[in-house]
Amino acid sequence: MTDVPELIRSRRTHKTFGPEPVPKETLDELLELARWAPNHHRTNPWRFRVLGPETLARLKEAAGPSEAPKLDRAPTLVLASAALSGELEQDEEDLCATASAIYAVLLGAHARGLAGYWRTPRALRTKAGREAVGLPDGERFLGLIHLGAPRSQPPAPERAPLESYRFFLP
């Protein structure tokens, strides 16, 4: 069994990747892991769209010249969104479930020796960006997952001490 604490502690955000795209079979394995994320009422709200070259070109156009180069960092991009019901409490739970699913993908990628980066590009919050990737009304964009072979090993980031965020209540 994989050492889960070590896997969590050693995962890093990568911003440089090798040129080879992640194979479809590996993407399917990673996205299959996502469905095991905690999900109240089993609504399965997560949606994953693997961007092909035509979609990426449209998104780069929507992003504009200053942001488009960041979309070329990784050879494989996966758009993650949550299908929402319009019911406030359920939507909040579904957003959290989708975020958990994204993290499952990132951990699964790391366990396979892949690099990952969870971004939230501004372009995907615009009408033009949503249209570029075919994101329908009723879905909320949560992230653009960059995946590929790592080119380096980023250092461990600074983390707040446990005592700064853990509280025992009487």
Per-chain mean pLDDT for the chain = 95
Q: What is the pLDDT of residues 128-164, one digit of tens each?
A: 999 999 999 999 999 999 999 999 899 988 999 999 9
Work out how many domains the chain is built from and give that number: 1
- For residue 157, the surrounding DSSP H or E stretch is none
**Which are the contacts of 10, defined by CB distance < 8 A and separation ≥ 6?**
110
User: Domain for residue 75, yes or no?
Assistant: yes
What does pTM read for this prediction? 0.94
Q: Classify the phi-psi angles of 44: left when phi > 0, otherwise alpha if psi is within -120 to 50, otherwise beta.
A: left
User: Domain for residue 144, yes or no?
Assistant: yes
User: Domain for residue 7, yes or no?
Assistant: no
Percent of residues, the chain, with pLDDT higher than 70: 99
CATH number at residue 72: 3.40.109.10
Model pLDDT, residue 2:
64
**Phi (first) and psi of residue 129, to 5 degrees:** -65, -45
For residue 101, what are the domain limits?
38-152
- Residue 73's identity, in one-letter code, is R
Q: What is the pLDDT of residues 81-137, one digit of tens each?
A: 999 999 999 999 999 999 999 999 999 999 999 999 999 999 999 999 999 999 999
**Which are the contacts of 40, defined by CB distance < 8 A and separation ≥ 6?**
90, 93, 97
- Does position 53 have pLDDT exceeding 80, yes or no? yes
User: Domain for residue 10, yes or no?
Assistant: no
User: Domain for residue 148, yes or no?
Assistant: yes
User: Domain for residue 2, yes or no?
Assistant: no
Q: How big is the CA angle at 39 (ends 160 and 143), to the nearest 5 degrees?
A: 60
User: Domain for residue 47, yes or no?
Assistant: yes
Summarize the confidence of residues 33-37 as an average pLDDT: 95
User: Domain for residue 20, yes or no?
Assistant: no
Summarize the confidence of residues 28-52 as an average pLDDT: 95
